[in-house]
Chains A and B, each alone.
Chain A
Amino acid sequence: MNSHNLLEVIADSLSPFGEYSVIQSSKGELVIKVTSLKIEECLMALKKNCGFIQLVDIIGIDEKLNPEVQKRFQLVYVLYNFEEQIRAAIEIEVGEAEIIPSCSHIWCNADWAEREIYDLLGIQITKKNKITKRIFFPNRFTGHPLRKDFESVDFECFEDSDSPFEKDTDLTLEQMSQRTVVTMGPQQSGDRGAFRLWMEMEDDLISRIEPELGFIHRGIEKLSENQNLNRSIHLSERLNYLSPSVGSLLWCRAIEEMIAIDIPERAKAIRMILLEMSRIIEHCRGIHSIQRELKLAAGELQFSQIIKTGERLLSRYSTTGHFSHLNMIGGMSRDLPHFWMGELMEWIRTVERHLFTGHESLKSSQFWYDQNSIKGIMASEALEWGVTGPILRSCGVNFDLRKAEPFYFYQDVDFEIPLGINGTSFDIYLVKVEEIKQSLNILAQVADNLPVGDFVSQDQRISFASKEKIKEGDLGAMARNQRLINIGPTLPQGKKYTSLESPNGELGLYLIGGNSAHPLRVKWRTPSFYHFQPFSNWAKGLSIDSARVVFESLNILTSEVDR
């Protein structure tokens, strides 16, 4: 079935439900505009007949400032077809008082995405006989922050929240009395950020678990709407603070693709090096945090050494500490320092050595194997919940965005995708170790063929005029520099979903431009948001200790979840 056939199948399955239109972009992405009211049936048909088995994200847009649109809101469902490796965006217009049926029975992961849309935009999405709950803000809070006419938050109205569990009517009084509610958080001992876990315990096993979010909701998306494009780079770095250069890489790449700027080859290679280095460091952090959780000394020193030396190498390049600000629109902010490549090659050898000894000692530890193989994840389950990245690959699904949608030089370098079988945290560990080896492979290949030349694009729209021209007194060049500092590049009209394979999974960015310096809507699709959601299902029936191991192996960061 090729893409032409897919269009016919879509036409067949959508035609009974009213009007629609399909546009295919040059890259093969589909945009389907549905005007009928049978949204639920349309989405069901797309999943069952056309193979769009994964819901990537749901995006809500407030179109109040757009005079051409009749209805105030718009919903965009981003779907993915694994067979054809095609992404589709289904656009629906929604009026202010309209109630949209929930699609959480079609894709399980739609639940949190819909709650977020209700919370931030106030679009009513209802399940059968159930009221939509807020996700970041408490239920007593009034107002919807992502609306264009939202003003401010009253800090005094917040109170400590109550237990989120509804009473289970099937239980007898005696069973009810055996259950106790325990909370964890909001402050945590690790570096995962602030969140609270509500747990209902039966003896020492978890019977129900419910995470409470929004403790560090900073409104990164709202802030990015109100400032120019250059100033949001630091916000994207703080999205996932364990690997800051990945977020800024995606932000810059999305804008470069929308403005249609081709960045120099050297900048592409340097960005690949940054991405693979962050992958190695974050995988090691993930493994190290489980070791810390289990208080296992075997191999701990080796993995912590990889993290330390890697961070040191990155800070040698950035010279500004943890948040590097290395990526900028049009390339890199500075060139590689002298002799840095030599240090990188040395680091690759160090990582290989440490990884070998660390992996040998962990592999032979029976305790490590037993603790990590308690809970397995089925591949079908993982696809339903929108899980991506190393966790999806540990279930045996052969999918990596670096292979499916290669950017920069990923189609030229030689690497393989490691796969697991059972989806346990031990399989995730094995996949991560193998991915570190493949990343080292990529790093070595890029370092061997590092292109020479400019590290930032010389395009007039984004780069500064040279100093010589200013010394000559060129007024045009001066005006250009002034404009770039004060206003920055303009984003052309259009909508675009860009994504890349971050260490955690698929990191996506949905951008809407309107011929202005500010974007009209920014939406981050973060892997942690979709990995945290099924945790309440997977932790049922486990003890707290083993649930913590499962949690650490999912590598969830609350700064990514709350945004």
Chain B
Amino acid sequence: MTNINENINDQFPINFLQSQEQVGVFNGQSLLKSWKNSKLQNHMWFFPFSSACCSLAYQVDQNLIVDDGTNPLFKEDISEVNANILVFSGMITPKLVPYLRKVYQKMSYPKWVVAVGTCAISGAPFEGPFVMKGLELLFPVDIVIPGCPPSEEGIDLGLKLLSEKMKKGICSAIQVNSEVGLKQ
């Protein structure tokens, strides 16, 4: 058995194999799926939504560094309809709740959600009657990046974890029985 595994490792990248293990089926359908996953990973469409100061941690970068095409957050004219990934930072106030729900509904499948900062995770610095205790009360969250504000290294690590998840095809919201997106 070990010999076979080595042979397969030569032919395919490791991550590809892991994604097969995750699904547990080795047939034509999952091959197509892994190809779709890698395609998605190379075309990440972010929808950065920041209601307050955590945006400084990644938006300062976005604004000050000259766009050389490497920063995935640097894209102009993003709409939530095209995006797969919602990067939310800041506090969730009652007035923002209907708007956030609308954005999440409009996003295209499969949907990943990244909660940046303590406010988005638990509402901690402003814990009280006016701030919701976490984004998870609204919809499933994939990656959580702690800190107030989170460090640049933390955000880098979080996005790396996200890309690994995308490679493996682990997602909180996958559309079932539809022509667009992944089928499971």
Note whether A and B form a binding pair.
Answer: yes
Instruction: State the Cβ distance, A215 to closest chain B Cβ, in Å.
Output: 5
List the A side residues contacting B76 at CB < 8 Å: 189
List the B side residues contacting A242 at CB < 8 Å: 56
Q: Which of A153, A234, A322 sits near B125, CB closer than 8 Å?
A: A234
Instruction: Check B94 against A559 for contact (C-beta < 8 Å).
Output: no
Tell me the chain A residues, 156-182 only, with Cβ under 8 Å from chain B.
157-160
Instruction: Check A222 against B128 for contact (C-beta < 8 Å).
Output: yes
A541 CB within 8 Å of chain B: no
Instruction: Check B97 against A158 for contact (C-beta < 8 Å).
Output: yes
Instruction: Check B60 against A191 for contact (C-beta < 8 Å).
Output: yes
Tell me the chain B residues, 56-102 only, with Cβ under 8 Å from chain A.
56-57, 59-60, 63-64, 76, 90-91, 93-99, 102
List the A side residues contacting B49 at CB < 8 Å: 187
List the B side residues contacting A288 at CB < 8 Å: 63
Instruction: Check B149 against A323 for contact (C-beta < 8 Å).
Output: yes
List the A side residues contacting B96 at CB < 8 Å: 186, 194, 215-216
B131 CB within 8 Å of chain A: yes
Q: What 1/0 mask marks residues of chain A from 186 to 199 whose CB sits below 8 Å from any chain B CB?
A: 11011101100000
List the A side residues contacting B149 at CB < 8 Å: 321-323
Instruction: State the Cβ distance, B64 to closest chain A Cβ, in Å.
Output: 5
List the A side residues contacting B128 at CB < 8 Å: 218-219, 222-223, 226
B52 CB within 8 Å of chain A: yes
Q: Which residue of A lies closest to B123 (CB)?
A: A218
List the A side residues contacting B125 at CB < 8 Å: 234-235, 238
A339 CB within 8 Å of chain B: no
A145 CB within 8 Å of chain B: yes
Instruction: Check B98 against A159 for contact (C-beta < 8 Å).
Output: yes
* Measured CA separation A288–B65 after assembly (Å): 13
Tell me the chain B residues, 144-174 only, with Cβ under 8 Å from chain A.
148-149, 151
Instruction: State the Cβ distance, B94 to closest chain A Cβ, in Å.
Output: 5
B35 CB within 8 Å of chain A: no
List the A side residues contacting B13 at CB < 8 Å: none
Instruction: Check A152 against B99 for contact (C-beta < 8 Å).
Output: no
List the B side residues contacting A218 at CB < 8 Å: 91, 93, 126, 128, 130-131
B18 CB within 8 Å of chain A: no
Instruction: Check A214 against B64 for contact (C-beta < 8 Å).
Output: no
Q: Which of A157, A214, A322, A559 sits near B52, CB closer than 8 Å?
A: A559
A138 CB within 8 Å of chain B: yes
B9 CB within 8 Å of chain A: no
Q: Which residue of A lies closest to B148 (CB)?
A: A323
Q: Which of A145, A187, A235 sits near B130, CB closer than 8 Å?
A: A145
- Tally of chain A residues near chain B (CB < 8 A): 46
Q: Which residue of B lies closest to A155 (CB)?
A: B94
List the A side residues contacting B148 at CB < 8 Å: 323
A308 CB within 8 Å of chain B: yes
* Measured CA separation A397–B156 after assembly (Å): 47
Instruction: Check B93 against A217 for contact (C-beta < 8 Å).
Output: yes
Instruction: State the Cβ distance, A150 to closest chain B Cβ, in Å.
Output: 8
List the A side residues contacting B90 at CB < 8 Å: 194, 216
Q: Which of B52, B131, B151 sits near A193, CB closer than 8 Å?
A: B52
Q: Which residue of B lies closest to A213 (CB)?
A: B95
Instruction: State the Cβ distance, B88 to closest chain A Cβ, in Å.
Output: 9
Instruction: State the Cβ distance, B72 to closest chain A Cβ, in Å.
Output: 16
A307 CB within 8 Å of chain B: yes
* Measured CA separation A321–B63 after assembly (Å): 19
* Measured CA separation A395–B166 after assembly (Å): 55
List the A side residues contacting B53 at CB < 8 Å: 238, 241, 322, 559
A294 CB within 8 Å of chain B: no
A220 CB within 8 Å of chain B: yes
A137 CB within 8 Å of chain B: yes
Q: What 1/0 mask marks residues of chain A from 128 to 168 whose CB sits below 8 Å from any chain B CB?
A: 00000000111000000100001111110111100000000
Instruction: State the Cβ distance, A299 to closest chain B Cβ, in Å.
Output: 14
The CB with the most chain A CB atoms within 10 A, among B76, B97, B99, is that of B99
The CB with the most chain B CB atoms within 10 A, among A138, A153, A226, is that of A153
Question: Given A153-B94, A235-B125 in contact, is the A217-B51 Cβ separation under 8 Å?
Answer: no
Instruction: Check B129 against A152 for contact (C-beta < 8 Å).
Output: yes
Q: Which residue of A lies closest to B59 (CB)?
A: A191
Question: Given A153-B130, A220-B126, A323-B149 in contact, is the A187-B51 Cβ separation under 8 Å?
Answer: yes
Instruction: Check B131 against A194 for contact (C-beta < 8 Å).
Output: no
Q: Which residue of A lies closest to B66 (CB)?
A: A301
Instruction: State the Cβ distance, B87 to closest chain A Cβ, in Å.
Output: 11
List the B side residues contacting A191 at CB < 8 Å: 50, 55-56, 59-60, 63
The CB with the most chain A CB atoms within 10 A, among B55, B95, B129, is that of B95
* Measured CA separation A157–B131 after assembly (Å): 14
Instruction: Check A138 against B95 for contact (C-beta < 8 Å).
Output: yes
B132 CB within 8 Å of chain A: yes
Q: Which of B52, B97, B130, B151 sits near A194, CB closer than 8 Å?
A: B52
A64 CB within 8 Å of chain B: no
Question: Given A158-B94, A191-B56, A217-B93 in contact, is the A153-B51 Cβ separation under 8 Å?
Answer: no
* Measured CA separation A218–B126 after assembly (Å): 6
List the A side residues contacting B60 at CB < 8 Å: 191
Tell me the chain A residues, 228-245 only, with Cβ under 8 Å from chain B.
234-235, 238, 241-242
* Measured CA separation A292–B53 after assembly (Å): 19
* Measured CA separation A436–B133 after assembly (Å): 41
The CB with the most chain B CB atoms within 10 A, among A153, A194, A214, A235, is that of A194
Q: Which 3 A-B pairs have the closest CB atoms?
A: A241-B53, A194-B51, A219-B130
Q: A residues touching B (Cβ–Cβ < 8 Å)?
A: 136-138, 145, 150-155, 157-160, 186-187, 189-191, 193-194, 214-220, 222-223, 226, 234-235, 238, 241-242, 288, 292, 304, 307-308, 321-323, 558-559
10 contacts between A and B (CB under 8 A): A137-B94, A153-B129, A157-B94, A186-B51, A191-B60, A216-B96, A219-B129, A220-B126, A288-B63, A304-B64
In the complex, given contacts A155-B97, A215-B93, what are 16 additional A-B residue pairs having Cβ atoms less than 8 angstroms apart? Answer: A136-B95, A158-B98, A186-B96, A191-B56, A216-B52, A216-B96, A217-B95, A218-B126, A222-B129, A223-B128, A235-B126, A241-B52, A241-B53, A241-B56, A323-B149, A559-B52
